[in-house]
Every structure is written in structure tokens, then in C-alpha cells.
Amino acid sequence: MIFRYGFGFDLGDGYSLLLMVVVIYTLTIVALSMLMVGILQSPEQFNTLFPSIIPIMPLISGVYMPSGTITNPFR
């Protein structure tokens, strides 16, 4: 409702699929964070790696590169 009337963007009727994608993405980011915490031994290592990993997380979701912005020259 917010997207349809507030932003003028219709998401369609696939709310269950959208919810599933959000849940899977959230679990993936939590798993990557837990992996980082398990591997790193000290707060200094964490503070060194954290600024390098955080910008990658939105790239995984496609926030920085939405579909349609990158063209395929082989198409």
C-alpha cells in the first residue's frame, strides 16, 4: 500500500515471494556477520575488516546496481 499510493510503484500481488526474498537476504547477511565474528580474533581485526565488508553487503542485494542499469553487450 505504501509503495502503490505513496510512491506510485506497484509491486504486484507477489507479497509472499517478496517476503521470502527479504527473509533470505536477512539470513544471508546475518550468516556473513556471524562468519566474520567467528573468524576474527580481536577487536582490532574486526575494526580493520568491517569498513571493507559493509559496502559489499548492499551490492549483494542489488541496491547499488538495480536491474536494468547495466547493459549486456552480448545480447
Output the DSSP codes for 15-74.
HHHHHHHHHHHHHHHHHHHHHHHHH--SHHHHHHHHHHHTTHHHHHHTSSS-TTSS--TT
Per the CB < 8 A criterion, the answer to whether 64 and 58 are in contact is yes
Q: Find all residues with CB under 8 Å of 46, minimum gap 6, and list them.
A: 36, 37, 40
Cell of 14: 507477489
In tens, the pLDDT along 54-75 reads 777 777 766 666 666 666 666 5
- The residues spanned by each domain of the chain are 16-61
When pLDDT is averaged across residues 46-57 and rounded to a whole number, the result is 81
Lowest-pLDDT range, 11-20, 31-40, 56-65?
A: 56-65
